[in-house]
Amino acid sequence: MSKEYAMNLKANTFTLTFVPSKDSTVFVNAIEVVSIPNEVFSFQQDAIETMYRLNMGGFSVSPQNDTLHRFWEKDDDYVQDILGAVNVSVDPFSVKSSFDVNSEIAPKQVYATAKALKNEKVSNLTWVFLVNPNFKYILRMHFCDIISRLKHQLYFDVYVNSEAAVKDLDLSALTYDVGVPYFIDFVSKLNPSKNSSDMLTVRIERSKLEEESQNAIMNGLEIMKISNEARSLDGFSSAEAILPNSHSKIRNLVIAFLCSVLVASVFLALICFLYPKKTKGSSGELSLSSSGDYCRIFTLQEIKDATNNFGEESIIGVGGFGKVYMGKLEDGSGTTKVAFKRANPESKQGLTEFQNEIVLLSKLHHRHLVSLIGYSNEEGGEMILAYEYMENGSLSNHLYGPNMKMPPLSWKQRIEICIGAARGLHYLHTGTCHGKIIHRDVKTSNILLDESFVAKVSDFGISRKGPFADKSHVSTAVKGSFGYFDPDYFRTRHLTEKSDVFSFGVVLVEVVCGRPALDHSVETNRMNLARWALSCEENGELYKIIDRSLIGEVKVDSFNKVWEVAKKCLEENRMNRPSMGYVMCSLEHALQLDNNNFNSIVLGATTSDL
């Protein structure tokens, strides 16, 4: 099972304490702490617990398709009369942009589906939920008129239990068009009493204002429990009353968190997975690192044992920091593979980069960022970082690496990998509670792939925090990799997140071409891949850039969308480059276009095809 909470933080630290019930024990398998933009929640409660989050009229929406990593359950199990309901849906990319609703509020997949009344004989539709009547609840109702062709054709009422949440709702009057997302927050007023029902109902029905009111719809629904006067989400006892005093013999699990607070109120989403799961990794010291977060410290001997004393056969990569080894850690549940990055004493990257990577990665957690497991830095010893092992290596190895015996990546795989990397970078630029972070070394060799080819951004040795809110850039020495340098940053030494965007544009060109960003083995005019690709387009020869392994597979519209966003990323002036959020959405569009039945690009195609 899992639990999800949002807390209104007013300090830069908070503590999570697990207290066992009588004759019981405490365990937790995973904890995720994710910062939420302030505009997602405008209310000021101490804490809320997510009870239900539904996508009406469609399939479940996975965390991978939500920028805040939320899961949206399909609503069929909660509909009182499913026979009176009909599912409606449109292409998510036909959902129009809204100034008030962005992807942090809800993904477009939610607004692209809806439950509606099946026919004119059905007057209303009801969803039923089990709740604790001793608490109040925030209901966030998501709407998007995807069934009307013209404005002012859809009027309906919404009730929560017997109370009218909104009457005669005309979405187009609020959004000035059809197909535009909108949401309404409503606080239920359940009266705490022994006789209160433990059912909460949400009902939509045709408005009586218009005799010819066509229908009633709902696209999504979130129900969140509000903490009570005792600041509790479970009963009437405060946390202070439950926590044992310092003399108690009860053993608690206490976890402390550090989070930068940039404004007076910050909401954090806390997700605790409480289902039994075998843990990986051998026993070792758990210590508070210099970053202020928990991180395992390995002994040098542990790492030597895991890597066969740094045997040549264990080497899986070489980078600016040093060699990377695959190690195996034994525990009671089996063997766990770990990647150990061992510093080269002669490397230009040293203690600063080593500490920087620990400080950043121990604080960051995202599906598309490589996880730091621990490190070793014994006095007088070596600097070694330990990461989760990525079974399929780097993206560069699959595009043009020395071991090309592996099958080439399909066009769909390439887009999915780029989407994953874009999500990781978008999180760094916008989603952390530690402020904006600029990677500074985005390249295909730093995009790693797990056993399912899920992309994860790695190597944060030269990453740094972005400018404060009142600054446009950070002035700093130029660092990065040749072939990926942002020319604006190189020229002015002004670093912004748009430098990562430029580098990612080069990555997109590599993905299309199947060639490295810089290749000294070819003639001069082809040496710099991005420049050569842009010149091919100028000369009406864009077809020349496509990886030969993709010929006959790539859909025209899908390719054009990827090339379009790559060109925008490669703009000389950083002000003309898009955000990573825009890049991410454009690539998702390209993936959808790839699933459509368009003609494929073939070798020798004319530019009119492109």
Cα 475 to Cα 350, 478, 493, 496, distances in angstroms: 21, 9, 6, 9
Measured distance CA(467)–CA(457) in Å, rounded: 21
Please tell me what DSSP assigns to residue 187. E
Q: Could you tell me which residues come within 8 angstroms of residue 234 by beta carbon, excluding any fewer than 6 positions away? A: none
- Work out the number of other CB atoms within 10 angstroms of the CB of residue 500: 31
**Angle between helix 497-513 and helix 556-569 axes, rounded to 10 deg:** 140
Q: Which of 66, 145, 293, 441 is catalytic?
A: 441
- Maximum separation of any 2 CA atoms in the chain, in Å: 83
Measured distance CA(237)–CA(260) in Å, rounded: 29
Q: What are phi and psi of 129, to 5 degrees?
A: -135, 145
Query: Length of the chain, please?
Result: 610
Write out 205-234 in H/E/C secondary structure. EECCCCCCCCCCEECEEEEEEECCCCCCCC
Continuous H helices in 454-578: 487-492, 497-513, 524-527, 529-538, 556-569
Amino acid identity for residue 9 in this structure: L
Measured distance CA(238)–CA(225) in Å, rounded: 16
Report yes or no: 360 and 437 within 8 Å, Cβ to Cβ: yes
441 is catalytic: yes
Residue 405 annotated as lining a ligand binding site: no
Radius of gyration of the chain (CA): 27
* Beta bridge mates, 191: none
Question: Would you give the end-to-end CA distance of the chain in angstroms?
Answer: 49
The beta-strand segments (E) located in 110-249 are 113-117, 124-130, 137-143, 156-160, 163-169, 182-187, 199-206, 217-218, 220-226
- Positive or negative, the CA dihedral 586, 518, 400, 308 is negative
Rounded (10°) CA dihedral 240, 244, 246, 252: -110
Measured distance CA(180)–CA(145) in Å, rounded: 7
Q: Which residue numbers belong to the known binding site for ATP?
A: 341
Q: Which residues are catalytic?
A: 441
